[in-house]
Amino acid sequence: MKKNTIFAWLGTTDINAAKNNDPKGYGLGPIANALALEAFDEIVLLWNQQESDYDLYIHWLSERVEIELNGHYTPLQDPTNYREIWNKTTERVDQYRSESDTHTQLTFHTSPGTPQMQTIWVLMAKTRYNARLIQTQQNIKKIIVPEIPFNIEAELLPEALAHTDAKIKAALGEIPKEGAEFGDILYLDQRMAQVISDAKRAAVRNLPILINGESGTGKELLARAIWKESHLKDKPFKVINCGAIPKDLIETELFGYAAGAFTGAAKKKDGIFKAADGGTLFLDELGELPLDAQVKLLRVVQDGVFTPVGGTKEEKVTVRLIAATHRNLQEQVASGDFREDLFYRLAIAVLQLPPLRDRGKDLAHLIRKLFESVMADFYGDSEKNSKTLSPGAKKVLLEHSWPGNVRELQNTLKRMLLWSDNDKISEKEARKSLFSTINSSSKNEGILNQDLSSPVDLNAILQRVEKHYLKRALDESNQNKSQAARLLGLGSATSFNNYLKRNNLF
């Protein structure tokens, strides 16, 4: 049930009513009049008068109404200065909202106070808060809800958007919230349900985990959920993207360096392993790690020790490792681009996140839930948080192949809200927000359209195609070789095994 809270500035008319000094016939005054006409749970009263006048008014008011009262002395150098009133009033409302642990309906009473105060309440309700505006008059025995014949665009007040823009930009980089848990992962699809079930089982064991999945499938979100489910949830969780660091800085980022290790290294600096000591380290895009760095990583994975760059003394750490990659590490092992011993050290609990296109009914579910979340990021509690998707827009989204997976879907929904001026997003606006997908012919250009002016390695091309479909068949059949053989039109699991051996996938 919503808590109904009224905000008001204490005005001279209210104080005169309490003093029984009523030369103009103001009766109870605007505030007491509103409380007599409507049941509010709480009043937040801002005052700028002498303390004796405030105390007198509170005593007088408490004899007439029973209500939770929070008074805030809010000094103003000039009660007609719009900027000062805006800053002080929004500060009080923001403070109240941050401290309130219930869902609250805000009401701003515009009658008490100076005309400038009344104007600021209107501006706040139309830009920053989803608040109800009311007025009272002595001779009218009802609450008046003023009709505001315009809608102020929040762009006129940049500070009103600063917080939401920061949230939006963070989401564009797919930065999951620090405390992400399994409940934050949206799914209905059975295949995804199995991944979550396996992840929960792996979370409670202190074993390395390898998460495979295309870009944008939510690998870091899953890693953070595993951490929050583990016995290390109160210990550090550190993240490093192995593909985002220049090759010559990888070792210093991972293991730190000793003082004097190189020019400019005036003092010792710890790396990410030391920072994660006792907790969990998430190695994102592990497949991008150079071979020489893989050698040193193997040592710390195997023995829990490393030597900082330029150092002579080994350091010991205890770290739970979760790694992720969009690459096929088994293929990289076969091609010599990834160390086999490191792969088998890390690939104990292997989780395969399916791409969005293979998650069946999850797409419609994600569109609905993410659209609500994206609207909340854009508009907060404002009245604009009521846009809907037209049937045509939904059709466009459901028919898209989503090569960028959940991340692409999130950012497409953000673009739709950015470009749409209507309450219902149209099919045209949805199409405008999509990036065109790379068609299959351009994807396969390396195979189907090779230059024949010089000899082509046909066997290598055929092996590449075989590997692709062998791995897909295994994924589709949940590693059931007999079923995988049927998917590829092969006679038996024995034939399928022969193909695996021939392609070094056995």
* H or E element, residue 249: none
The correct answer on CATH 3.40.50.620 for the domain covering 3-156 is no
* One-letter amino acid for residue 392 of the chain: G
Q: Tell me, what's the pLDDT at 158?
A: 46
Q: Tell me, what's the pLDDT at 153?
A: 45
- Concatenating the DSSP letter of every residue in 482-502 gives HHHHHHTT-S-HHHHHHHHHH
Q: Is 474 or 196 the better-scoring residue by pLDDT? A: 196
Q: Where are the alpha helices (DSSP H) in 128-209?
A: 159-172, 190-203
Give pLDDT tens digits for 257-285: 998 888 777 889 999 999 999 999 999 99
Query: Which tokens in the block code for residue 28?
Result: 């109870």
Question: Helices then strands (H, E): number in the chain?
Answer: 22, 15
Domain with CATH 1.10.10 in the chain: 442-502
Confidence of residue 377 (pLDDT cuts 50, 70, 90): confident
Confidence of residue 308 (pLDDT cuts 50, 70, 90): very high
CATH number of the 442-502 domain: 1.10.10
Q: How far apart are the first and last CA of the chain?
A: 60
Is the pLDDT at 445 greater than 60? The verdict is no
Confidence of residue 366 (pLDDT cuts 50, 70, 90): very high
Give pLDDT tens digits for 415-427: 998 888 778 898 8
Give pLDDT tens digits for 72-106: 999 998 888 888 899 899 999 988 887 876 578 89
Q: Which CATH class is domain 188-354?
A: alpha beta
Confidence of residue 157 (pLDDT cuts 50, 70, 90): very low
pTM comes to 0.55
Domain with CATH 3.40.50.300 in the chain: 188-354
Confidence of residue 166 (pLDDT cuts 50, 70, 90): low
Closest CA to 367 of 434, 304, 451, 291: 434
Give pLDDT tens digits for 226-247: 999 999 999 999 999 998 888 8
Backbone φ and ψ for 215, nearest 5 degrees, come out as -60, 135
Average pLDDT, integer, range 479-502: 84
Tokens 């985990």 found at: 209
Is the pLDDT at 343 greater than 90? The verdict is yes
Query: Which tokens in the block code for residue 250?
Result: 């990888």
Tell me the pLDDT of the chain averaged across its residues.
Answer: 84
Q: What is the CA radius of gyration of the chain?
A: 31
Query: Which tokens in the block code for residue 467?
Result: 């590997």
74 CB contacts (<8 Å, ≥6 apart)? Answer: 46, 47, 48, 88, 89, 92
Q: How many CB atoms lie within 10 A of CB 152?
A: 14
Domain with CATH 3.40.50.10770 in the chain: 3-156
Q: Is 421 or 67 the better-scoring residue by pLDDT? A: 67
Length of the chain: 506
Q: How far is CA 1 from CA 40, 69, 440, in A?
A: 13, 19, 53
Max avg pLDDT among 37-51, 117-131, 163-177:
37-51
- Concatenating the DSSP letter of every residue in 308-324 gives -BT--S-EE---EEEEE
Residue 228 in contact with residue 179, Cβ under 8 Å? yes
